[in-house]
């Protein structure tokens, strides 16, 4: 039996990073001309293996996920800072940090990819990716986390499966599941939407659902579970709190995961 209620996903490197969006500069220059809007990121100083960081970079699609001098932080006192044009980040900026350290012989070591898997979380959200671990995902302005666009002319079928031997432990008691639903940004996060109810394939030992979504959109979602013998509140549903790639009975595997705001994660899947 699998119990995924309290599974934990570890990052490559756990750092208590404090990344904050400080502000957006819309002021004009000394000649009265409007400057390009920028956003400033700060990071308190830290060490890697006891060695001080000598260089710090922001990387993302805009740097081909590598060090670029145009996105190198500058240091003042105990704080690193970087001003980034809004034309670079658009409505949403997904990025990670690159740190370089110097040893006592002043030889530059390899750059470390800094990932994040601990509280306190930085402003914005965290996305789990397949290459770097966790990436920061900062929203610029009042932007929906992942807008779902139903206006696309093409719909794509996605097959979902959940192993029927999944269990959940509530207040020290382990319960089997007797029903599964899909909920997300496509159905108002309804935990018992009949349109997204899984059917039980006992012969295959799993719950199954085929659902259509608009191509070219992202969906964020969780599985909602109806538990057997949960007598204290039989109408209560329970949800995924951990990324689905640790659940070998669940498919499809999301491409990324986004912080759900409740110390857990939502699956994050692009519909092709």
In angstroms, what CA-CA distances link 116 with 2, 203, 236? 27, 41, 33
Choose the weakest-confidence range: 68-77, 115-124, 156-165: 115-124
The total number of structural domains that make up the chain: 2
How deeply is 75 buried, as exposed, middle or buried, from its count of CB atoms within 10 A (0-12, 13-18, 19+)? middle
**Which of 139, 154, 174 marks a domain boundary?**
139
Residue ranges making up the domain that contains 55:
19-139
Same structural domain, 125 and 187? no
| pLDDT tens-digit map of 20-63 | 333 334 344 556 566 677 777 777 777 766 777 888 888 888 88
Same structural domain, 38 and 70? yes
Same structural domain, 156 and 254? yes
- 29, 258, 267: which is closest to 124 by C-alpha? 258
Cis peptide before 256 (omega within 30 of 0): no
Percent of the chain with pLDDT over 90: 11
Same structural domain, 152 and 252? yes
Q: With respect to residue 9, please indicate whether it lies within any of the assigned structural domains.
A: no
Same structural domain, 87 and 156? no
Side-chain half-sphere CA neighbours of 156 within 13 A: 14
Same structural domain, 229 and 196? yes
Give yes or no for residue 208 having a pLDDT over 70: yes
Pair 181, 223: CB distance under 8 Å: yes
CATH number at residue 81: 2.60.40
pLDDT band at 168 (very low <50, low <70, confident <90, very high): confident
Q: With respect to residue 79, please indicate whether it lies within any of the assigned structural domains.
A: yes
């Amino acid at each position: 039996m699998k119990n995924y209620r309290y599974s934990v996903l570890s990052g490559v490197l756990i750092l208590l990073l404090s990344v904050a969006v400080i502000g957006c500069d819309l002021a004009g220059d000394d000649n009265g001309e409007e400057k390009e809007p920028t956003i400033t990121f700060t990071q308190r100083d830290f060490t890697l293996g006891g060695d001080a960081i000598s260089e710090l970079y922001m990387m993302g699609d805009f740097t081909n996920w590598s060090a670029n001098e145009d996105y190198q932080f500058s240091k003042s006192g105990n704080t690193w800072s970087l001003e980034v044009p809004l034309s670079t980040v658009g409505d949403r900026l997904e990025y990670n940090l690159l740190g370089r350290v110097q040893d006592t012989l002043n030889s530059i070591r390899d750059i470390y990819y800094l990932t994040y898997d601990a509280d306190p979380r930085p402003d914005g959200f965290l996305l789990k990716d397949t290459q770097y671990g966790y990436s920061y995902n900062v929203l610029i302005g009042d932007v929906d986390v992942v807008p779902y666009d139903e206006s696309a002319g093409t719909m794509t079928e996605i097959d979902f499966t959940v192993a029927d031997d999944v269990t959940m432990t509530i207040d020290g008691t382990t319960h089997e599941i007797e029903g599964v639903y899909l909920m997300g940004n496509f159905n108002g996060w309804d935990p018992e939407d009949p349109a997204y109810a899984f059917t039980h394939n006992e012969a295959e030992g799993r719950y199954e659902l085929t659902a259509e979504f608009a191509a070219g959109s992202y969906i964020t979602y969780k599985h909602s579970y109806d538990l057997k013998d949960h007598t204290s509140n039989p109408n209560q549903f329970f949800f995924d709190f951990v990324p689905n790639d640790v659940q070998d009975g669940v498919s499809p595997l999301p491409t990324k995961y986004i912080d759900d705001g409740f110390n857990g994660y939502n699956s994050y899947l692009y519909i092709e």
